[in-house]
Copies of this chain bind each other. A is one copy, B any other.
Amino acid sequence: MVGRPVDHRRRAELLDAAVDHASREVFAELSFRSVAAALGVSTTTLVHHFGTKDRLLGSILERLRERLVASSEEIAGEHPDLATAARAFWDWSSDEAQWPSLRLFFAVYGHAVQSPGTYGGFLDTVGADWIAVLVAAQGPSVEPADATARATVVVATIRGLLLDVLATGDRARVEEAAAAFLSDLAPRST
């Protein structure tokens, strides 16, 4: 006898809703009860589908990572050089539609710097993927070591500018800084 089959679609549906909820709420204050209430289910349902709280958070971040990486490949993959790829990255990041996801991303970063083991895999993958996209954009003619160094700098600068605007809300100053950064970058990419 086989019994009722596992409903993978149900799990995915709950997980997507949980990621949306986590993007709106404060990461540190997530609990079985708050997520369950937002999704209109009981805490037992979450336990059944995800196990422990750590595994629920891990699943949420894994799903968030998939979204972020898919966006980054879609956006920066087709650009011919570092400068235009960086500009595409910045335009995408500074779009306020991305801010809930990016706020969650930086909240996880904040936790990870003080407890690396917990979310290290998440950060390594996202960071490495973004750098890989920007290394690829520089083409095969650039020294790999140079390409990695420049990609690391560009990712760091964009992340720092995003952190600035997300924390201070001073959009005008940060946008001006981004413009200066991107225009400085252009003549170096040839």
Contacts and interface: CB of A to CB of B under 8 A. Distances in A.
B106 A113 contact: yes
Given A109-B163, A110-B109, A113-B107, A149 B177 contact: yes
A114 interface: yes
A155 interface: yes
Contacts of A21: none
Interface residues of A, number: 51
Interface stretch (A42-50, A65-73, A74-82, A178-186): A178-186
Contacts of A107: 110-111, 113-114
A153 B181 contact: yes
Contacts of A106: 109-110, 113
Interface of A: 25-28, 103-104, 106-116, 120, 123-124, 127, 145-146, 148-150, 152-153, 155-161, 163-164, 166-169, 173-174, 176-181, 184, 188
